[in-house]
Structure 1
């Protein structure tokens, strides 16, 4: 029922009000007595949030409703309001037809695997501790969450006087513009009206989807542009010249600023060599996790880890919150540019390498991965099977990993030369094709 990013799926099929009601009941039955409930701008979220809150109350838990709010706003609110858990109705960067639910701890960290399974087990078994007629939970509304988030962002970033374009993507990340203005920046917003149909662009902030931001930023006198997905847990960036910044490069810039010698930075197994290379000279090391911001957050919560990030746009400063906070990332990036130098020049400092991605279709992903894993272990000395199988060589690496949602095995390779990356990629792809 739960993936690494919570529950997501098509409305009326995988995701229904019955399911939201059941999750609310299960949360309360597991002992979460006070739960913050928020949602993104998708119209279906209204009914789903109502159903989840009803399930909570039916089993004796109190529901603190935020209405429309960014996922990091909801996640932070759990701790701010002394709640036991948070529930966000969102499908993040998925298309408008989808919705979902994601659960949060007071630390800002998403529910871990054991917590998710406990909730899922109750839903599967229809096992709920329904309250007596006179012990139903209460529902209250808190409208102050966005303002509290802006205050936290202003405290966590330095003042500056940059000119910044913020593409909200018709999502719920308006706190970014408010916080940047509080910090002294000049802000222009694009697609700032919440609309869960995402009429301006697809929700995921990729280079292709953010072409409008790229063009606008390059044509203006802005120092940088930033973009969010629908629930603002992700943030991507554009230089003054209109270059969409690679997620790996952005990860390296954030990590280099956040970490000090002896620290570690948590990154998923598909992260570029560029990050480790940029940090090595500063005495900072990377520690790899499974792919998914929930796994990065779990590792970022450990002692000695100063930062965690995913190249897709999820950035975690554990001293602030263990939730990926797109608005915080935007404010921290603006401070970095204001206090250092143009973003384009910072980007140019990070050396990047050739990288190739591809996939092989198969209906037997698990069996194929088992066979590929054994062959890779036999052929390479440095092998990591944390998530899929990753092989390291002197000048590159490749990763073979089953897709979590499609009948595909994905192949990624990177090396310090074009010839070598081609060799690594083709060798890895042939391994998969031989076993598929």
Structure 2
């Protein structure tokens, strides 16, 4: 069991000992530290924070702890209940709130939960602010309100609809063309909030929806990370239903993957590539993704005369570089679409709307669309960390071994070869080293990953 405290929030498994797992005590302490930070930053008379959750079994318990901690500090809470990460991000500025908290462990299994923290713009906190909250937790300096100054909780169930309206109002979302295309789509909501939000959006776009695992009960029917090996059921369902394609989201609906009409993966990495292709064809400009994302985005961006740049992994790093480069679309290769016209956050709803607009415009099947993009293949592996493994030592040794190749070390070690690359980094959300590779064929990508893992294993023995 694990508790991970980082600048991006607190994440852990439910139950166990205080300080070792995500217990009620840990949830309260971290929520109180966030509330203290809000007051230090804003310094005003009244405070408001939006709180929402995915459908995890522990969600209601953690949300009640967090909300009541905040009102105990004199902070008013807008409870949006069962929600998505991007919906809470959209709600914060709509509510003119001072921040937001999403209770979700994203793609982690059901025993995990987390507190994801937002600023007053509805964006994830940067490293400096995250570090301040960690310092508040360590210093145990939280102060609570007296009985006459407690906050209040207000329930608002309208934000799924409000979020969808914002998406449909985007100039590049071609509602009429999508409606006329009469698409049939299978949706795998992994029994979380995506099982509500995505079908609602599709129905508003005139799409015939076939639901698969859309009951938001928190019992994930498969590993919730939207990777090929976890998606056999929807692949079979798309073929059986003769659907145009399938949509897969993770539990908090900030990651998006597609299944083509033949039941094959479109490629999670190509979600952003396709959406960028559509946006760039109408609003030429620059793009950003993280270092672990496919080269195909660079290729598509340059086709339209734009500039592509890679950031360190992590949504906050992608957003920072997107703002600096004034990009028109960006995100992460894990299926995370960030479209600044709506908000600076990964958003599967806006990704679905842009993808449907592209398909309606191209008038081709999803498999045909995939063939129009540069073909790269990725391998995503992980190495479980043990207490005696010195990650810095391993990464330094790899860097030294490949010193004659093109290296980038702003986030772990990335080695760019002529026809392939490998990126090694310690995860911010799990006790693992991520090993991502990309090459011109799947075999080459897998072979490169195995070689690097074998080298790391040897280094760890030294």
TM > 0.5 between the two?
yes
Indicate which of 318, 323, 327 corresponds to 1:296.
318
Residues 11/417 of structure 1: CA separation in 2 closer, same or farther (3 Å cut): closer
Partner SS for 2:74: coil
Aligned to 1:28: 35
1:372 paired residue number: 398
> Against the structure 1 CA distance between its residues 411 and 57, is the aligned structure 2 distance closer, same or farther, given a 3 Å change threshold?
closer
Residue 78 of structure 1 corresponds to: 92
**What is the CA distance between 1:420 and its match in structure 2?**
7.2
Residue 423 of structure 2 corresponds to: 399
Is the contact between residue 77 and residue 145 of structure 1 (CA under 8 Å) also seen in structure 2? Answer: yes
Q: CA separation of 1:431/1:306 partners in 2, compared to 1, >3 Å: closer, same or farther?
A: same
Contact residue 61 and residue 138 of structure 1 kept, 8 A: yes
SS in 1 for 2:230: coil
Conserved? CA contact 2:399–2:407, under 8 Å: no
SS of match in other structure, 1:116? helix
The aligned counterpart of 2:261 is 240
Contact in 2 for aligned 1:63/1:139 (Cα 8 Å):
yes
Shift of residue 248, structure 1, vs aligned partner = 2.0
2:214 to 192, 199, 219: 192
* TM-score, normalised relative to structure 1: 0.91
Deviation string, structure 1 residues 268-292 (Cα, Å, up to 9, x no partner): 1122223322332222232111222
Structure 2 residue 236 is matched with structure 1 residue 215:
yes
What secondary structure, in the 3-state scheme, does the structure 2 residue paired with 1:240 have? Answer: coil
What is the aligned partner in structure 1 of residue 124 from structure 2? Answer: 110
Q: Counterparts of 1:383-422 in structure 2 under 5 Å?
A: 383-404=407-428, 409-416=433-440
Q: Distance in 1 between matches of 2:83 and 2:431?
A: 34
Find the partner of 1:142 among 152, 156, 172.
156
Q: 1:308 to 1:220 in 2, by over 3 A?
A: same
Q: TM-score, normalised by structure 2?
A: 0.86
Per the alignment, residue 13 of structure 2 pairs with 10
Q: How many residues align?
A: 433
Cα distance in structure 2, aligned partners of 1:372 and 1:86: 39
**Cα shift at 1:421:** 5.9
Q: Deviations over 1:345-390 (max 9, x none)?
A: 110111213545556677111112123223433x22x321111122
Equivalent in 353, 357, 361 of residue 376 of structure 2 = 353
CA distance in 2, matches of 1:315, 1:364: 34
Distance (whole Å) between structure 2 residues aligned to residue 6 and residue 240 of structure 1:
38
Q: Distance in 1 between matches of 2:24 and 2:432?
A: 31
SS of the aligned residue for 2:69 comes to helix
Residue 282, structure 1, aligned to residue 304, structure 2: yes
Query: SS state of the match for residue 305, structure 1?
Result: coil
For the 8 Å contact 2:286–2:325, the answer to whether it is kept is no
Could you tell me whether the CA contact under 8 Å between 2:278 and 2:354 is conserved in 1?
no
8 A contact 2:8–2:125 mirrored in 1: no
Residues 400 and 428 in structure 1, CA contact (< 8 A), matched pair in contact too: no
Take 1:401 and 1:212, find their aligned partners in 2: how far apart are those partners?
A: 31
Does the alignment pair 1:123 with 2:145?
no
Match of 1:65 in 2: 79
Quote the Cα distance in structure 2 between the aligned partners of 1:204 and 1:409.
Answer: 17
- Supply the distance in 2 between the matched residues of 1:359 and 1:97 (Cα, whole angstroms): 20
Conservation of the 8 A alpha-carbon contact between 1:218 and 1:240: yes
Alpha-carbon contact 1:365-1:407 (below 8 Å) kept: no
Q: Which residue of 2 aligns with 1:259?
A: 280
Say whether the 8 Å CA contact 2:269–2:335 is kept in structure 1.
Answer: no
Mapped partners of 1:167, 1:360: distance in 2: 28
Distance in structure 2 (CA, Å) of the matches to 1:360 and 1:23: 29
- Residue 351 (structure 2) pairs with residue 325 (structure 1): no
Q: Answer yes or no: is the 8 Å Cα contact 2:51–2:67 preserved in 1.
A: yes
Structure 1 unpaired stretches of 5+: none
SS at structure 2 position matched to 1:373: helix
Which stretch of the first structure deviates more once superposed, 169-178 or 276-285? 276-285
Of 161, 174, 187, which aligns to 1:158?
Answer: 174
Match of 2:246 in 1: 225
Partner of residue 169, structure 1: 190
**Greater displacement, 292-301 / 214-223:** 292-301
1:306 maps onto 2:328 in alignment? yes
SS state of the match for residue 130, structure 2? helix
Residues 1:245 and 1:417: Cα distance change in structure 2 (over 3 Å): closer
Deviations 1:232-289 (A, max 9, x none): 1111111112111112222211122223687321111122223322332222232111
